[in-house]
Amino acid sequence: MIDLRALRENPEPFRASQRARGADVDLVDRVIAADETRRQALAAFENLRAEQKQVSRSVGKASPEERPAILASAKELAEQVKAAEAASSAAAAELDDLARQFANLIEGAPSGGEEDYVVLRHEGGEPRDFAAEGFEPADHLAIGEGLDIIDTRRGAKVSGARFYYLKGWGMRLELALMTAALDAAVAHGFTPMTTPTLVTPQVMGGTGFLGAHSDEIYYLPADDLYLTGTSEVALAGYHADEILDLSAGPKRYMGWSTCYRREAGAAGKDTRGIIRVHQFNKAEMFSYCRPEDAEAEHARLLAMEEEMLALVELPYRVIDTAAGDLGSSAARKFDCEAWLPTQQRWMEVTSTSNCTTYQARRLAVRERREGGTSPVATLNGTLATTRWMVAILENHQQADGSVRVPEGLRPYLGGLEVIEPVGATA
């Protein structure tokens, strides 16, 4: 939720934010008008209610001759108060509906759409020159099938398109990634958590996921619950309706969960393999901090993501995502994209967003400070996910079909250095 007082007092930054996102700029004026209507309706209700109380108090002091007229006036006022209260509630609901359509105020993100990101830097060295090594790289699915560690055919047989099995060293490689992420998070002071993957509409909506892309979310109408596409949702709801003590610094959590996404808008995109699937595992960082500390906390989360990418020895680039490609909750977002040799493109593997106070306002997460309570800032970032296996398999493949295990993951795989091809079972 945006800061209505800030919008009312200085609407131009909000207009600029909407313009940069390619969103509806006129929404600013509609929200301001609805806020004025709400405040007028509330004032009218409160004035009538005060008058009603005054008249009610005068009944006992009135003479028998005056009392009938006063009672009639009180009755008429009661009807007026009831109508004014209904009008005030309706105006508040209208304002809330409009305000919830408003995306977060961007902070430093480039203007434009999906292709207007800014590349901040390249890391991890130059991508391998497979031609110089004398062989054509295979894609991750061909490698995975050759090693008998990924089975999409049986995944589709059991659950449909975009499902898969991870087998043997495939399952263990994913677990190694997640466990390495867990160790990294704990080393940086994060509290590890296994989170619920079903949440209420209030929590899902509070994090900003029930807007334009709500069709990407699995919904269970019989239970009125949503399957989460990231543990960010459950972690954001963890402290809903609470007042936090951040005097000792941010509260930092790492959620380990299975995630579910409908991929409703992904028809024809990344249909081969496990790049874009309906179910995957993810280690997600989440931080509650003071708004003035959010920018530094954002840099901290990005640095941790880059530590993990260095651990698995992937060439990657860091991009500053354009405003039009941000989720509604994010004020700014940095993505790390690993090189995908067989597609000659960069593929997103991590994302970290500064949501400022947007989610906290919706979920009533506050901090007690001098003069009262105020919303905190929330931030999130990916520390590892199943998709990383795509980049690991392709970048570390060898000419004989084997895959070299990055040194940073070997302790989690019993010291295994190479995953060797095996005969696939029928």
Q: What is the pLDDT along the chain (426 residues), one digit of tens a residue?
A: 889 999 999 999 999 999 999 999 999 999 999 999 999 999 999 999 898 888 887 877 778 877 788 888 888 888 999 999 999 999 999 999 999 889 999 999 999 999 999 999 999 999 999 999 999 999 999 999 999 999 999 999 999 999 999 999 999 999 999 999 999 999 999 999 999 999 999 999 999 988 767 889 999 999 999 999 999 999 999 999 999 999 999 999 999 999 999 987 666 777 899 999 999 999 999 999 999 999 999 999 999 999 999 999 999 999 999 999 999 999 999 999 999 999 999 999 999 999 999 999 999 999 998 889 999 999 999 999 999 999 999 999 999 999 999 999 999 999 999 999 975 443
Residues of the chain with CATH 1.10.287.40: 2-99
Give the tokens for residue 167.
Answer: 């087998």
Q: Which of 410, 414, 151 is nearest to 277 (CA)?
A: 151
How close are the terminal C-alpha atoms of the chain, in Å?
54
Q: Which of 176, 173, 153 is nearest to 163 (CA)?
A: 153
> The domain 116-417: what is its CATH number?
3.30.930.10
Q: Check if 351 is active-site.
A: yes
CATH number belonging to domain 2-99? 1.10.287.40
The predicted model scores a pTM of 0.91
Is 387 catalytic? The answer is yes
**Residues flagged as binding site:** 230-232, 261-263, 277-280, 284, 348-351, 380, 382
Annotation says 272 is catalytic: no
Q: What are the tens digits of pLDDT across the range 118-156?
A: 999 999 999 999 999 999 999 999 999 999 999 999 999
How far is it, in rounded angstroms, from Cα 347 to Cα 216? 20
Q: Is the dihedral of CA 167, 170, 172, 175 positive or negative?
A: negative
Catalytic residue among 300, 361, 362, 387: 387
Residue numbers in the known binding site for L-serine are: 230-232, 261, 284, 380, 382
- Residue whose tokens read 């301001």: 32
C-alpha to C-alpha distance for 87 and 42, rounded to whole angstroms: 8
Q: Which residue in the list 15, 276, 290, 410 is annotated as catalytic?
A: 276
Q: Any idea which residue has 């398999």 for tokens?
A: 393
The binding site for ATP consists of 261-263, 277-280, 348-351
**Residue 73 is a catalytic residue:** no
The catalytic position among 351, 362, 367, 394 is: 351
159 among known catalytic residues: no
CA 33 to chain centre: 30
> Please, where in the chain does CATH 3.30.930.10 lie?
116-417
Catalytic residue of the set 252, 261, 300, 362: 261
Catalytic residue, from 39, 67, 348, 404: name it.
348
